[in-house]
Structure 1
Amino acid sequence: MDSEAVRSFVRAAELGQFRHAADELGVTQQAVSKRIAALERELGVRLFTRTPRGVELTHDGRAFLPHARGVVAGADRAVAAVRPGARAPRIDVLGLRSAQAVLLHDY
């Protein structure tokens, strides 16, 4: 499952329009539409009903939304975990022959 498609789905669901979701995501409206269409094909359900004012979630879309939010949040946490500065520095001490090494090991 494409995480960017899930992210596009979540933003479109929250904003009610593909255009607004596209603006926030920094892509074209067509890209958001294609991502969501691919996601709908993959899931085998319609997630949105298209209206003249934008989009509304279907029953399946409402059922999928909380899980999709969890996927997006999990992906964001995974990326943040490997960013420089996100982890505490680690010092490995291989030998304990010097006083400094013993102090570092105990620390």
Structure 2
Amino acid sequence: MDVRGRDLRYFLAVAEELSFTHAAERLYLSQPALSKQIRALERHLGTLLFTRDRQQVTLTPVGEALVPHAYMRVHRAALQFRRRAGAPLRRRFTTLRTRPGR
């Protein structure tokens, strides 16, 4: 049972927002496309991850159990990507200074 990292990121966005609309906006996707991806993930796993109605979205017990595993897998994938790319593992912040009128 291999689940793609993208599917887990989509799942986590919906789990955090508890809204397909807000999660889709955050992911720069259309809401129908996100819903379709989540339904495909649920079919792949053979279980519902969310209960949906017109007013709210909630995690099922299986969805709640998947959240920590999804976070770990997404985090590990990001670390592997950074290592392969040779990018530093720490975030570096840059200060941008501007002068008025320039």
Q: TM-score range by the shorter chain?
A: 0.7 to 0.9
Q: Please give the per-residue CA displacement for 1:6-37, whole angstroms capped at 9, x wherever unaligned.
A: 11100100100011111111111112111111
- Structure 1: runs of 5+ lacking an equivalent: 88-107
- Structure 2: runs of 5+ lacking an equivalent: 90-102
Aligned residues: 87
Q: Please give the per-residue CA displacement for 1:73-92, whole angstroms capped at 9, x wherever unaligned.
A: 112112222234438xxxxx
TM-score, normalised relative to structure 1: 0.73
Give the Cα separation in 2 of the matches to 1:35 and 1:11: 12
Report what 1:48 is aligned to: 50
Structure 2 residue corresponding to 1:74, chosen from 62, 71, 76: 76
TM-score, normalised relative to structure 2: 0.76
* Shift >6 Å, 4+ stretches: none
Identity %: 39
SS in structure 1 of the partner of residue 57 of structure 2: strand
Choose 1 or 2 for highest CA Rg.
1
